Amino acid sequence: MSKQKDHKMKKLLLAGVAVIGLSFGAMAADNVASIDQVGSNNVNTQTQTGTFGSATASQNGARNQNSQTQAGNRATATTSQNGNDHYASSNQNGRGVVTQTQGGNRNRATVTQTNTLGGFAIPGTGNTATQTQGGEDHRADIVQTGFSNTATQNQSGSRNDAGINQSGGFINSGNTATQTQSGTDNYVRVAQSGSDNTSTQTQSGNNNQAFGTQSGSSQTLQQTQGGSNNYATSNQQNSTGSRVMQSQQGVGGTVIAYQGAATASIIEQTQTGSTSYNRAESTQSNGTLLRAYITQTNGYDNRAFTDQQGRNNLATVSQNGSGNRSTTTQR
Which pLDDT tens digit goes with each residue over 297-306? 987 899 999 9
Same domain, 89 and 219: no
- Structural domain boundaries, residue 106: 32-117+125-134
Q: Mapping DSSP to helix (H, G, I), strand (E, B) and coil, where does residue 12 land?
A: helix
pLDDT at 109: 83
Domain count, the chain: 2
What span, in angstroms and rounded, lies between the C-alpha atoms of 301 and 278?
Answer: 7
Strands (DSSP E) contained in 96-208 are 96-105, 108-117, 120-122, 124-125, 128-136, 139-147, 150-158, 161-167, 176-184, 187-193, 198-204
pLDDT category of residue 315 using cuts at 50, 70 and 90: very high
- For 95-140, the pLDDT digits (tens) are 788 888 888 777 788 888 886 555 555 556 788 999 998 877 889 9
Same domain, 191 and 83: no
Same domain, 314 and 172: yes
Same domain, 211 and 322: yes
pTM of the model: 0.83
Same domain, 74 and 129: yes
Q: Which residues contact 39 (CB under 8 A, 6 or more apart)?
A: 60, 61
> Is 313 contained in some domain?
yes
233, 208 in Cβ contact below 8 A?
no
> Is 144 contained in some domain?
no
Same domain, 282 and 230: yes
* Nearest one of 114, 223, 220 to 179, comparing CA atoms: 223
Same domain, 179 and 278: yes
Task: Give the HSE-up count for residue 309: Cα atoms under 13 Å, Cβ half-sphere.
Answer: 8
Same domain, 129 and 172: no
> Is 2 contained in some domain?
no
Whether pLDDT at 45 is above 70 = no
